[in-house]
Amino acid sequence: MDALHHGGPATQSTRQQLRQQIRLQRQALTPHQQEQASKAVLARFTQLKTIRDARHIAIYLSNDGELDTGPLIDWIWRQGKNVYLPVLHPFSKGHLLFLHYRPDSPMRCNRYGIAEPALDVRLVKPVHELDIVCTPLVAFDDQGQRLGMGGGYYDRTLSQWHQSGLGPQPLGLAHDCQQVRHLPSEAWDVPLPAILTPSAYHHW
């Protein structure tokens, strides 16, 4: 196996460097650039047939310079569709639960300092009952390969979809500056079938 493109320690350090570099780039976007980016993505998002047909949409609250999902969440609510947010699984390390999210949901801060709905088993939505999982990412490449923050949470969430094609459609959301030519991927990485940025709808 080619150590540079699969698996080896060289791959790990390249991935770490890329995470660092791209996170700094998106953190450097000004509030005005963030606002314009979010508006542009919203305009595309609302036109997607998969989104218009969806009733149960998982998304996430932005942090670390990520594209602002706030306007998307408001639009989904206004359409009368259901919004779900990821919550760190309380026992199963590395796994996410998706909880129904409403404007008045009680929130708490998780171990990464990200707000999440307070855990309530009645609000848990099984992943296979979601229609779309809007997926955060740090970097993506020409083939839809995805680099996350390094926890592997979405690789686990999407692995069943990746293996069987059943379950919710993943849709990556990102700034244009998060695109790179080629990402060194690992066996467990789940490539995304579609990614929305302010200037393009990439799909494979």
Ligand X SMILES: Nc1ncnc2c1ncn2[C@@H]1O[C@H](COP(=O)(O)OP(=O)(O)O)[C@@H](O)[C@H]1O
Which residues of this chain interact with ligand X, rule CB under 6 A?
147-152, 155-156, 159, 186, 188-189
Which of the choices ligand X, Mg ion, none does residue 177 contact, using the CB cut-off of 5 to 8 A by kind? none
Structure tokens at 200: 């393009």
Residue with tokens 């990412």: 137
Cross-strand pairs, 45: none
b/e map 179-200, b = 16+ CB within 10 Å = bbeebbbbeebbbbbbbbbbee
Tell me which residue has its CB nearest to ligand X.
Answer: 152
* Nearer residue to Mg ion within complex by CB, 11 or 62: 11
- Give CA–CA dist 96/78, Å, rounded: 26
Which of the choices ligand X, Mg ion, none does residue 131 contact, using the CB cut-off of 5 to 8 A by kind? none
Q: How many CB atoms lie within 10 A of CB 154?
A: 23
* Nearer residue to ligand X within complex by CB, 188 or 204: 188
- Closest approach of Cβ 78 to ligand X, in Å? 31
Tell me which residue has its CB nearest to Mg ion.
Answer: 189
- Closest approach of Cβ 155 to ligand X, in Å? 3
Cα-flanking dihedrals φ and ψ of residue 110, to 5°?
A: -85, -175
* Nearer residue to Mg ion within complex by CB, 131 or 155: 155
- Closest approach of Cβ 152 to ligand X, in Å? 2
- Closest approach of Cβ 152 to Mg ion, in Å? 5
- Give CA–CA dist 183/5, Å, rounded: 8
* Nearer residue to ligand X within complex by CB, 47 or 94: 94
* H or E element, residue 160: helix 153-164
Structure tokens at 190: 């789940």
Which of the choices Mg ion, ligand X, none does residue 159 contact, using the CB cut-off of 5 to 8 A by kind? ligand X
* Nearer residue to ligand X within complex by CB, 116 or 189: 189
Task: List residues binding Mg ion (CB under 5 A).
Answer: 155, 189
- Closest approach of Cβ 151 to Mg ion, in Å? 9
Query: CA angle, 82 as apex, 163 and 66 as ends, to 5°?
Result: 70
